[in-house]
Chains A and B, each alone.
Chain A
């Protein structure tokens, strides 16, 4: 059974940093593109970042480029999101999501971890 479990969310002040983790199990992690998708309270979904394991190719949404860094450790079946220079508008539930093989759609999601940026 595919499982994605996020951790690392919490309350952080504007300008602060936070590192999210996603532990994956139930599939060959290294073979799949992995993503972070976020959802602000009461709002819609926003794709944040993607990392392709085989090539190391990384993509970011413009809203986080230069502030967030996605990475992965295939030996630990883990995905990470380092978030720096956090802003109030980064407040959201952050989901770890797997890309369906061959497509840039998200077939498995974690339960999400809440990041709140507030003073």
Chain B
């Protein structure tokens, strides 16, 4: 299975900050990477797929980049609603695997 590793595990930030989360794959996954946002007690929400394609309805302050084994999720200006846990997921090959998550908390 392809292993996905996110960094950092926790990120402290303030409203208005530019925030970047990194996800690394144990082998090349081309651009087959997705990002999700999850709030406590709620189901995850798809933000980005194929590394940089924004899901319908997701604010443009979210962006994704990368290919091969290294990827980033960037929030250009953090909003109060963005404090949550973020997960990456490779969708290159079965069995589809997630990163361990990055919690974005209030600084």
Contacts and interface: CB of A to CB of B under 8 A. Distances in A.
Interface in A8-57: 44-47, 50
A47 B43 contact: no
Contact of A45 (B44, B91, B94, B95): B44
B64 interface: no
B46 A105 contact: yes
Contacts of A1: none
A59 B97 CA distance: 13
A104 B91 CA distance: 5
Dominant secondary structure of chain B at its interface with chain A? loop
Interface string B75-107: 000000000000101010011111111000000
A59 B91 contact: no
B34 interface: yes
Interface residues of B, number: 23
A68 interface: no
Contact of A109 (B44, B96, B99): B44
A38 to B, nearest CB: 11
A110 B45 CA distance: 11
Interface in A61-104: 61-62, 95, 97, 100, 103-104
Interface of B: 1, 32, 34, 36, 38, 43-46, 49-50, 55, 87, 89, 91, 94-101
The 10 closest A-B pairs by CB, nearest first: A109-B43, A104-B91, A105-B34, A45-B98, A105-B49, A47-B96, A44-B101, A59-B94, A44-B100, A107-B46
